[in-house]
Structure 1
Amino acid sequence: MTDQSDKPKLGTRPPLGLKRTVETGKVKQSFSHGRSNTVVVEVKKRRILGKPGEAPVAAPAAEAPAPAPVAAVSAPSPQRPAPRPAATPAPRRPVDDIASRRELQERLLREAEEARMTSLSDARRRDDRAKVEQTEDEKRRAEDNRKAEDESAAEAARIAAEPAPEPAPAPGAPAVEPEVGEESRPGEDRAYRKPGPVQVVKRPEIARPVRGRGDDRRHSGKLTVTRALSGEDDNRARSLAALRRAREKEKRAHQSAGPSAKQVRDVVVPESITVQELANRMAERGSDLIKSLFKMGSPSALVDTIDQDTAELLVTEFGHNIKRVSESDVDIDSAADVDAPETLVTRPPVVTIMGHVDHGKTSLLDAIRGASVQSGEAGGITQHIGAYQVTLPDKSKVTFLDTPGHEAFTEMRQRGANVTDIVILVVAADDGLRPQTIEAINHTKAAGVPMIVAINKIDKPEAKPQKVREELLQYEIVVEDMGGDVQDVEISALKKTGLDKLLEAIELQAEILELKANPDRPAEATVIEARLDKGRGPLATVLVQRGTLKVGDIFVVGAASGKVRAMLDDHGRPIKEAGPAVPVEVLGLSAVPSAGDPFTVVENEARAREVAAYRQTLLDRKRTTSAPISLENMFADRSSTMIEFPLVVKADVQGSAEAIVNALNRLSTDEIKVRILNSGVGAITESDVTLASASGAPIIGFNVRPNAKAREVATRHKVELRYYDVIYHLTDWAKGAMAGELGPEIIETVVGRAEIREVFSAGKHGKAAGLLVVEGIIRKALKARITRDDVITYTGEIASLRRFKDDVAEVRAGLECGVTFTQNFIDLKAGDFLETFEVEERARTL
């Protein structure tokens, strides 16, 4: 077995071919509470290399050992030192006692800390030196660039002034010193040096003037920004205060040269304008305009409004040109904007279905669309204008508008007739022409659109289509079967018979009309219906008439404006654009518009706000301005005792609100008048309840309900809330409520009439009257009144009725009797007349 004791320990093996330069030892560290630790310490020796053949030089024994690797932080040196010959390691001194080990440990830690601090300070100094050098390099480069620019400018000046003789040096300027190692000789160029080992040829430098007593650069010319900032003629930059003074001086010099020419402006002046706005358009000070108005004898403030003539005087006085415009010029006039014929393309026809209620208009549309619209309408009647687009079997499209047939929806039918191309008049074969049918005929004639008569319900046994054709002759409508030019089709919406012929008639009529529109222009449309949605805000169903409506377009509709944020088709699907004759629902309105308002796309938001503000001004002026009253009407109104029936109306759509208001106004009579406090679109709110409670008015909600807060306030103030979804139920209640407000009708009937002949004393009953019954019957149980010269002096009851001392129940005409009255009435005279009458109360109806 090999002896392992002679093997060197790990870390102590000497390097091959060299003597050992690192000696290791162990130091034991003692801590509190009996803890200790053993640390391996390495002592490095300096290696000394000698020349070949010389004896090695021993390293000094007092060489300080290097710090431990874990504690030393040595900075990398830029160059590696040359290797030195290894020195003979000194014999290791054993460390026996604990004191020497602690001393060695403290010395090693102290040397390691000193080495770390030295390396940190060296690194900091190197960083500072690098920053200083970088700053000096930048300054040097900037100085070189400036010198190069100065030399180029001087060279250009020298070339420009080459024929001129060289200027003499300025008096007082120091002579140019010769360079070191050269002699200054008269007439000799200093560029050439005397013979020597190295001869340098330098470019001649231009002598620069030295600042002194004779420096007159201040008067060389005006100071410019470029000259001041570039530091020309001076190494120092001018201060901001100096630049500001120079600019002020230059400005005063320009002003002293003479007043500049006044700019003449074309001032646009409307019919009325404020003083401040006029000053802005004239680019004049408002105080100057106020002074001029004061001189004219019309003192005004900046916010006051002046008329067009006064504005013209001011504009002329200030030397401007006036351009008169009317307020109506602000509005959009689409009539003058006519599209060129080459831009027009064929568009789908717009067809409106009209007729009397319950004649099958919506059922016909259901049969064409293949959907059930009627099932969603309350009471089975249409109460909104529905806009739908249908694709026919030949891939062509037709836009249908379904209008209500109830009498209250007159404006809806009129609106539908005005925006349509073709009207389909639906007449029930078993019912004939009815009032709303006749009204639809009148609307169609007023709009000047062609008509197609659809005779519906021919599947019924009592149907008489021929009778319908004959009734139409009374209103100058002659169908083709009777020699006219109006198409008529017999259909059955329930059985879906005759629909193909109806669609063919629509296509034929559309071909005759040659319907075209320009899709490549800003859109123009008409509002078919508008409503307020709880989650999406104001919504409007519009029918595009020309142009293409796109998402993001800015528009103005009535007195409201907005931006198209989204569009939905008739199936509720979002779309990006809508061409001519396409009905869409638009989101992004600032307020709920009125049905029938024009919808126009404008170029920017400022234009939209301007037009909307002008239209709102017209509406406010119309609402606040009252019509002139004649003298007779004024006195009649003063003496009238008409009762007002206040109401607050809220509906789901704008068209229904208009129809309800019109229907309620038609219920007014000479005795009672409906007063609509407010009508709007959307749910019943707290403000509606507050308004109604102040006047004691009931609130009518048509297809809408109040929110929780409004319901609470209504309960607290005891405001009546009425909910309806069918319009004729609403009008029936209104009639009864108005009749109840008037109270029962009192009917008075005169039963008998008698003349007082004599007056007698009746003791405790006062006075008694002797009567002669002239006509009728005098009864004791009836009410009586006494008139003197047709003036009522007493109204009451008869206390007793006697004839010859006998009490009787009645006395007929031609007989005499005596009567006494209640309340001891004694103001009786011969010649007065007594009337007996009875009062009957009847329920009042409107």
Structure 2
Amino acid sequence: MAKTRVYELAKELDITSKELIEILLNEFSIKIKNHMSVLDEEDAELIKELFDDDSENSKKQDMDDTPKSIVDEYEEDANNSVEEKKTKKKKQIKEDCNNVDLDNKNQEELDDQITIEMEDTITVKELADKLNKPITEVIKQLMFMGVMAAINQELDFNTAEKLGEKFNALVIQKEQNITGVEEFEEDIEENDAETRPPVVTVMGHVDHGKTSILDAIRKAKVTETEAGGITQHIGAYTVKINGEKISFLDTPGHAAFTTMRARGAQITDIVILVVAADDGIMPQTLEAINHCKAANVPIVVAINKIDKPGANIDRVKQELTEHNLIAEDWGGDVICVPVSAHTKEGIDTLLEMVILTSEMQELKADSNRKARGTVIEAKLDKGRGPVATLLVQNGTLNRGDSILVGSTYGRIRAMFDDKGNKINSAGPSIPVEILGLSEVPDAGDRFNVVKDEKTARNMAENRKENLREQRLQTTNRVSLEDLYNQIQEGKVKELSVIVRADVQGSVEAVKQSLEKLSTDSVKVRVIHGAVGAINETDVTLAAASDAIIIGFNVRPSNNATTLAEKEGVNVRTYRVIYDALDDIKAAMVGMLEPEYKEVVLGTAEVRLTYKISSIGTVAGCYITNGKITRNSKVRVIRDGIVIFESEISSLKRFKDDVKEVATGYECGMTIEKFNDLKEGDLVEAYIMEEIKPKHI
């Protein structure tokens, strides 16, 4: 028997897949998982017939109701006008009655008095205009008050208030809410929302064909229509498929993807995960999957390179199931599309599936409101000044608008589309490049259109002050030391953990052991686990997800350590799994009392090794940072993995024994009970510093 997919039937009936699914579930009691599910031919024909009958009945009803609706509208308008007149009359009578109760003399004074609203400051000219007085007279009164002011000089509230009394005017200060983005975030429900194009990011492992697929889409679609452009000017472009638009962000990699999310910018609606059919799931693919899951973004899998001899699509789908991504033809809900960027096979199907996924999400925006969105990237151009690429997420952005971008502001002097052409406006999900900002914003900063440039400047300055105060205050990230307090206050319902270890077996063992520690009050969830040293990507993901990082027999890189300190991310390293489990258990019940704290003194790089029969291996080292002391403990790190821990048995500069060697100097050292030193190894020196027990 022939089968029909839900989305194909929805196309024929000219309705959305979501609407058809609701009709099938509610009216026909047909259980449907998603828009990729199939229907029997009999059911499909029955639904078509019912829709045809409904459309004919609705046409007849419309014809019958047309004359009546005109009369109804006329009567309704007449009734409304009568009601409005009655309401106005009642209001006027009420006001007249209230006015009778006032003293006549006071009433005359109140009638003559002018009320002026001002912000923190107001210019002499603006105040004179509001007072309806000549500027010379206002300046004269200011001189009598002892204030020498020019026409464009700004007056503070106290001066303006005293001056207002001279002219029988009441000066009041506007209540301003310029604390941040709260005043913009309240207006979430849109009355006139309409469907907007989806914003898509392409992610995946190196050499799996991300760029090739983007190039194939651009050549196949962008050159056919004026709706798109190339990525030479800005890192985004728009393509058109079956009358529907899709906005692509030039692949930023999962690190940049998470950096934006760490700043609170959720700009991606759908992620296309590229997996090579001849290679399968690789470490970077797994990282991309974990980042997408943490961001809760729908994934469409593009199985690339199907034209290669070693391609095995089923093997890729099998590997995806190991990470809870089950293909829809295997009974799951993840759309997998076999494609070939080389032969362009499957590209149209991939784009069509992206459109269907966005249709199920019901992405909407109101183009009639003031614009808001996110900064994709920004730079300082020598000739043009600060240049920012913005993605409009709601409303319409126009040339000449005053905008607030993070802690900077400006007025849009020029706008360019993805082809480099000048434009005057841009609607939702459209990327644009703008000129006119006061400073270069950060990628991921939110932007909002405000009423004028003065308001934008005041709000930007206020945000800068708030950011300065936040830097001075202690960080609010999750750490094991204060975990119990945050659980008690209700701040932590889920403890997110990132695990790094030296071998894959350890990663799996630690993940399972940690997740078993979940209790009724807090759930322990491992959001990412991988082999190798702790890197900057791990710290960025931890910052975005409020997670702690646990390392087994691995160490963070120098850049990761610096970033962790800046972001306030808690990084803990262990040699024994039970120590980590005991620490987290103790932290969850408020009994964690660390007695010692590890302090890293410095790092030395092994440049040369000598073998002396009576002594062992002597390493010629260069101190890359910090210092190495004679009495410190050391760990030998090779390719980010800790291979040995011991103490320094001797430390020399030339022939002399020394107590310590500082950054930039060379030295010779031997490590107790370890002779397998090789060129390129890192020797990290540290001491265990005793600290006071922390009672919770």
Q: What's the TM-score once normalised by structure 2's chain length?
A: 0.45
Relative contact order higher in (CA < 8 Å, ≥ 6 apart):
2
Q: Which has the higher strand share?
A: 2
Q: Which has the larger radius of gyration?
A: 1
